[in-house]
Amino acid sequence: MAETTTSTSASLPSILEPPPRTTGNSQQDFPLVVDWMWKAYQVINQSVTYISSQVDGNDEISLTNLPDPATSTVATAQQTANAAYTYANSIATKIGACLVKGTVTISDENTTGSATFSDAQTDTEYVIMLQAKSVSGSPASGAFTISSKTYSTTGFSFSILAAPGVGTSVTFDWQLVRDINV
């Protein structure tokens, strides 16, 4: 049987984690739910893209052109394994470049926070997801609400609706989210 090389235009979709449990504190729960909804949207989008690439006009993948295990050679199997490893490694490299995260603490009368990336981004076509991680003292209720964000290739800044207040602080987890077009 002739050897075929296949490539898919979409990678396998991520697995959707269960939705977050609510605590009854809407100021803390809302960012968690929004973050989960964003992840759900991404998984659905990946799933549709993956299924479409397997069904819609992809002549490279079909039951008629897959290698026949009864007639394949060790060399064919090794070549297929090498191609799979190379493809998986290239995806891992792209995904690794997008796993950028950290924390920012806003304290006292400040209403802004910022973070600098350890490695500059190639552009500003990304989204920063922020959510409150921990508090010190009893911050003002608006201290949990993000009012604006500004992106650059070297970092980002954001504002909150109200300062936490003297002697209090809010620490935010952040993660950079980017469409990697695998």
**CATH code for position 145:** 2.60.40
Q: What is the pTM of this model?
A: 0.51
CB within 8 A of 81, min separation 6: which ones?
A: none
- Domain shared by 105 and 149, yes or no: yes
- Domain shared by 173 and 105, yes or no: yes
- Over 80: is that where the pLDDT of 171 sits? yes
Residue 106 contacts residue 143 (beta carbons within 8 Å):
yes
Let me know if residue 14 belongs to a domain: no
**Where does a domain end: 71, 97, 123?**
97
Q: Which residues pair with 103 in a beta bridge?
A: 173
Nearest Cα to Cα of residue 144 among 123, 172, 107:
172
- Domain shared by 120 and 151, yes or no: yes
pLDDT at position 50? 75
- Structural domain count, the chain: 2
73 or 66, higher pLDDT: 73
CA dist., res. 71 & res. 87, Å (int): 25
- Over 70: is that where the pLDDT of 54 sits? no
42 or 181, higher pLDDT: 42
Residue 113 contacts residue 149 (beta carbons within 8 Å):
no
Let me know if residue 63 belongs to a domain: yes
- Domain shared by 170 and 108, yes or no: yes
- Domain shared by 90 and 129, yes or no: no
Let me know if residue 56 belongs to a domain: yes
Q: How confident is the model at residue 61 (pLDDT cuts 50, 70, 90)?
A: very low
- H-helix or E-strand containing 159? strand 155-160
**Where does a domain end: 41, 67, 97?**
97
pLDDT at position 137? 95
For 79, list phi and psi in degrees, rounded to 5.
-65, -40
Let me know if residue 163 belongs to a domain: yes
**Where does a domain end: 97, 113, 141?**
97
- H-helix or E-strand containing 40? helix 26-55
CA dist., res. 177 & res. 54, Å (int): 26
Mean pLDDT confidence for 85-114: 83
Let me know if residue 168 belongs to a domain: yes
Range of the domain at 33: 26-97
CA dist., res. 49 & res. 57, Å (int): 13
Let me know if residue 5 belongs to a domain: no
